Amino acid sequence: MTFYKSFLISLIILLTLGLTFSAGYLLHDQLSLIKNFPVLDEAYQILKSHGLKEIPTQPALEYGMIRGMLQTYDDPYTVFVEPAQQELQSDSLRGSFGGVGVRIEKDDQGMWRIYPFPDGPAAQAGIQQGAYLLAIDHLQLNPETNLGKIQAALRGPVGSKVSISISEDSSLEPTLFTLRRAEIQLPTVTWRIAADTFQVGILEVNLIASNTAQELERGFQELQKSGAKEFILDLRNNPGGLLESAIEISRLFLKDGVVMQQQYRGKEIETFRVDHPGQLSDIPLIVLINHNSASAAEIIAGALQTHHRAMLVGTPSYGKNTIQLIFDLPGGAAIHVTSAKWWIPGSDLPQNGQGLQPDILVNKESDNGTDPVLKSAVQIFTSK
């Protein structure tokens, strides 16, 4: 008993010390915030004491403060992203997500309609195309519900369950389905044979994600099986994505040399080289760009142009040569912070909003349903 009492007393003392330390740490953290931002704290206290309207919830108030801080920081690429949107962005860059396999649309009456993908969990459960989506777990839907919030609610860890309430007709009589989330792929590359000639294969890349390099290799293999001997890599309207994937993709097409260099504040310059010829380094290639080709897409296009590996066709690219690090915040939100610059040795572009210059400038993006940029690229191959 004496040992037990001594052990219990020691445990109580340790817990008390731990709680005291934690409380002291939190108090110090709070006092530090007040000390560093006394005007903000005083303004908050005034609003809390004298404001006619009820103060917003803490997350909403904090999110507003963060947005105001970043607006004053004045960097266009340092941004705050709320939880639902951050989850969707993370899924896109990862190339897959846990979900129920559906497309969501709002009809003319403001009602949310659900369209299951073939073989997805929703389709396997028997949910019909165009059914009305009424609720997801505890989220009740209405015309003002944000689409991103709906998509985020449907997503979650693979194997987890989600309950959705739907109606098959306009009576809106609810039927409850409990679905188990499966892994849903988000392809970043589509490919096809050119309409005018079977010898030219076209690969359109809409995002630079973790699985894009592997998708490109598969696309080239399938197009070669279909008879393609020359290829067009379409990076138009590609906003970028993962830096590491852009380097990996560039290495696929290059035999040697430097892909790019980068530098973080106070750090040494980092150089990314090609160690051995890439699997696609010998194929004839043309790259399409436009003003919406940005960031990681510009790394690929710029590296191939600088090494005289591929001709650029289209209009000047966006001109973004900075790198953003993503920091997760409590509650699922995130802050994207511009932390470094990158450049391609031997090229002065892109920089400060001035994009890569195409080797062949084609200003028209579309003309009576045709694609002048793509047509020009195909003609370069077929006219040889």
Residue 146 lies in a domain: yes
Residue 90 lies in a domain: no
144 and 224 in a single domain? The answer is: no
Between CA 150 and CA 100 the distance in angstroms is 12
Between CA 44 and CA 235 the distance in angstroms is 47
Residue 258 lies in a domain: yes
What are 366-382's pLDDT values in tens digits?
A: 666 678 999 999 999 98
193 and 178 in a single domain? The answer is: no
Residue ending a domain, among 153, 185, 217, is: 185
The CATH number of residue 149's host domain is 2.30.42.10
Q: Is-contact 381 286, C-beta < 8 A?
A: yes
134 and 274 in a single domain? The answer is: no
State the Cα angle at 300 between 296 and 303, rounded to 5°.
Answer: 125
What are 279-319's pLDDT values in tens digits?
A: 999 999 999 999 999 999 999 999 999 999 999 999 999 99
Residue 89 lies in a domain: no
152 and 300 in a single domain? The answer is: no
291 and 355 in a single domain? The answer is: yes
Residue 8 lies in a domain: no
What are 48-63's pLDDT values in tens digits?
A: 899 999 988 888 999 9
What per-residue confidence (pLDDT) applies to 18?
46
Q: What residue numbers bound the domain in which 157 lies?
A: 97-185
Residue 359 lies in a domain: yes
Its sign, for the CA torsion 352, 75, 78, 81, is negative
Between CA 362 and CA 356 the distance in angstroms is 14
147 and 223 in a single domain? The answer is: no
Residue ending a domain, among 185, 204, 221, is: 185
Q: What is the mean pLDDT of residues 257-281?
A: 97
158 and 175 in a single domain? The answer is: yes
167 and 221 in a single domain? The answer is: no
Residue 375 lies in a domain: yes
CB atoms within 10 A of CB 234: 26
Strands (E), the chain: 79-81, 96-99, 102-106, 112-116, 131-136, 139-140, 161-167, 175-180, 182-185, 189-193, 200-205, 230-234, 258-264, 270-273, 285-289, 311-314, 322-328, 334-343, 360-361
Residue ending a domain, among 185, 217, 242, is: 185
Between CA 58 and CA 111 the distance in angstroms is 31
Phi then psi dihedrals of residue 341, to 5 deg = -120, 155
Q: pLDDT band at residue 222, thresholds of 50, 70 and 90?
A: very high
229 and 305 in a single domain? The answer is: yes
Its sign, for the CA torsion 42, 45, 46, 51, is positive
pTM for this model (two decimals): 0.79
110 and 215 in a single domain? The answer is: no
Question: How many structural domains compose the chain?
Answer: 2
Per-position DSSP letters for 148-203, written without gaps between them: HHHHHHH--STT-EEEEEEESSTT---EEEEEE-EEEE---EEEEE-SS-TTEEEE
Between CA 229 and CA 199 the distance in angstroms is 5
The CATH number of residue 318's host domain is 3.90.226.10
What per-residue confidence (pLDDT) applies to 32?
52
196 and 174 in a single domain? The answer is: no
264 and 320 in a single domain? The answer is: yes
What are 16-31's pLDDT values in tens digits?
A: 444 444 444 444 444 4
State the Cα angle at 314 between 91 and 279, rounded to 5°.
Answer: 60
